[in-house]
């Protein structure tokens, strides 16, 4: 064997070895990792948005490890009184022909003015073309997210207090323009079980999960200043109008809760791996055993288990020492 081919053989082996062992450790963003939304775009990048309170920031990287140091780009800031401040829970969704960023904002004095708003972007999530497209409805509402039903179309889901005493998961029809809503607001889940009422009864942070032909919604239960803030799961019956509470079955307890020194595990998003074969979760947690609602919360990323019948297991929070292979 020629010396040069030995060298290239070693180089090939090294690069194979290198890609097979690409890995990361948690947390991915700390502090400033609240309400993490991660999606993987067709351009090969993972995009991360978290709650900053003051503006909307987006970062991207081709690896999860790279998100730790990725430069954040500001895509929204405003001095308009009713949407300048308390900017929370941005999510970026591809809606057929453009990216849309749904987010919560309000005034600087209190949280009574929290409303949902939307930016319209361009064909690339990294474009600098984001423009403010409007306020979605005029009730107290936070944590907007999109859920799709083949027979019923797209809905916006969010946490609201519309006709209920405690923050609940609500649905309203998303119009074809993707920047306005129509029809009534309906409540599909309220904090009613013990595990949804620690410190204070709350349902918030809905995220759609489609697996094994089932449509599900994960959401955060209990108050964030509690170590018991956790993820619950709603499963749609597949036929009845999704606007009906009776169309959804609630899990009998938390599906992801405190562990490995991480407390208050909640407000998640889901994304798929580059091959499309793996489902991953991003959520926030705190090392404060009393829970936390502030900027000290950090972003965690790990793979979840999805069965072909639509059974899902979120597992337990990954220890920070655990080396996790990049999604494939």
Ligand X SMILES: *[C@@H]1O[C@H](CO)[C@@H](O)[C@H](O)[C@H]1NC(C)=O
Residue ranges that bind ligand X, judged by CB under 6 A: 95-98, 154, 176-178
Give Cβ neighbours of residue 117 (< 8 Å, ≥ 6 apart).
83, 102, 103, 104, 105, 132, 133, 134, 135, 136
Determine the distance from the C-alpha atom of residue 10 to the mean position of all C-alpha atoms in its chain, rounded to a whole number: 41
Give me the sign of the Cα torsion angle 246, 249, 250, 252. positive
Q: Which is nearer to ligand X, 4 or 97 (CB)?
A: 97
Compute the least distance from the CB of residue 148 to ligand X, in Å: 7
Q: Which is nearer to ligand X, 136 or 233 (CB)?
A: 136
| CA 62 – CA 67 distance, rounded (Å) | 8
Compute the least distance from the CB of residue 319 to ligand X, in Å: 38
| CA 182 – CA 178 distance, rounded (Å) | 11
Residue 33, both tokens: 């990792």
Q: Which is nearer to ligand X, 126 or 149 (CB)?
A: 149
Give Cβ neighbours of residue 282 (< 8 Å, ≥ 6 apart).
28, 36, 37, 38, 48, 268, 269, 270, 271, 299, 300, 301
Compute the least distance from the CB of residue 92 to ligand X, in Å: 13
Residue 229, both tokens: 């803030």
Q: Are 105 and 125 in contact (CB under 8 A)?
A: no
Compute the least distance from the CB of residue 90 to ligand X, in Å: 18
| CA 267 – CA 253 distance, rounded (Å) | 16
Using Cβ positions, the residue closest to ligand X within the complex turns out to be 96
Compute the least distance from the CB of residue 177 to ligand X, in Å: 5
| CA 188 – CA 152 distance, rounded (Å) | 16
Compute the least distance from the CB of residue 116 to ligand X, in Å: 16
Compute the least distance from the CB of residue 40 to ligand X, in Å: 17
Q: Which is nearer to ligand X, 72 or 173 (CB)?
A: 173
Q: Which is nearer to ligand X, 97 or 239 (CB)?
A: 97
Q: Are 300 and 28 in contact (CB under 8 A)?
A: yes
Q: Which is nearer to ligand X, 178 or 218 (CB)?
A: 178
Compute the least distance from the CB of residue 107 to ligand X, in Å: 29
| CA 174 – CA 91 distance, rounded (Å) | 15
Q: Which is nearer to ligand X, 95 or 161 (CB)?
A: 95
Give me the sign of the Cα torsion angle 18, 300, 114, 80. negative
Instruction: DSSP for 268-315, please give it.
Output: EEEEE-TTS--EEEEEEEES-TT---STT-EEEEEEEEE-TTS-EE--
Q: Which is nearer to ligand X, 130 or 263 (CB)?
A: 130
């Amino acid at each position: 064997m020629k010396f040069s081919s030995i060298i290239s053989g070693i180089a090939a082996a090294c690069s194979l070895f290198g890609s097979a062992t690409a890995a990361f450790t948690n947390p991915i963003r700390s502090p400033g990792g609240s309400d993490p939304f991660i999606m993987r775009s067709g351009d090969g990048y993972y995009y991360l948005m978290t709650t900053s309170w003051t503006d909307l920031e987006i970062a991207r990287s081709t690896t999860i490890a790279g998100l730790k140091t990725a430069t954040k780009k500001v895509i929204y800031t405003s001095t308009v009184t009713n949407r300048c401040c308390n900017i929370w829970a941005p999510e970026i969704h591809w809606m057929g022909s453009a990216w849309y960023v749904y987010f919560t904002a309000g005034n600087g004095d209190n949280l009574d003015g929290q409303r949902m708003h939307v930016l319209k972007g361009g064909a690339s999530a990294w474009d600098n073309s984001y423009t403010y497209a409007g306020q979605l409805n005029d009730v107290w509402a936070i944590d907007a997210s999109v859920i799709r039903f083949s027979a019923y179309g797209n809905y916006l889901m969010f946490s609201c207090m519309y006709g209920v005493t405690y923050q609940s998961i609500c649905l309203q029809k998303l119009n074809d323009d993707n920047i306005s809503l129509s029809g009534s607001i309906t409540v599909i889940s309220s904090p009613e079980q013990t595990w949804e009422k620690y410190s204070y009864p709350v349902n918030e942070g809905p995220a759609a999960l489609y697996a094994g032909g089932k449509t599900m919604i994960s959401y955060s239960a209990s108050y964030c200043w509690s170590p018991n803030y956790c993820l619950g799961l709603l499963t749609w019956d597949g036929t009845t109008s999704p606007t009906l509470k009776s169309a959804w079955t609630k899990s009998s307890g938390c599906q992801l809760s405190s562990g490995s020194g991480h407390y208050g595990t909640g407000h998640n998003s889901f994304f798929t791996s580059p091959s499309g074969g793996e489902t991953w979760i991003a959520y926030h947690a705190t090392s404060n055993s009393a829970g936390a609602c502030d900027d000290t919360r950090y972003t965690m990323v790990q793979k979840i288990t999805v069965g072909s019948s639509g059974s899902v297991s979120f597992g337990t929070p990954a220890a920070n020492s655990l080396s996790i292979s990049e999604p494939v």
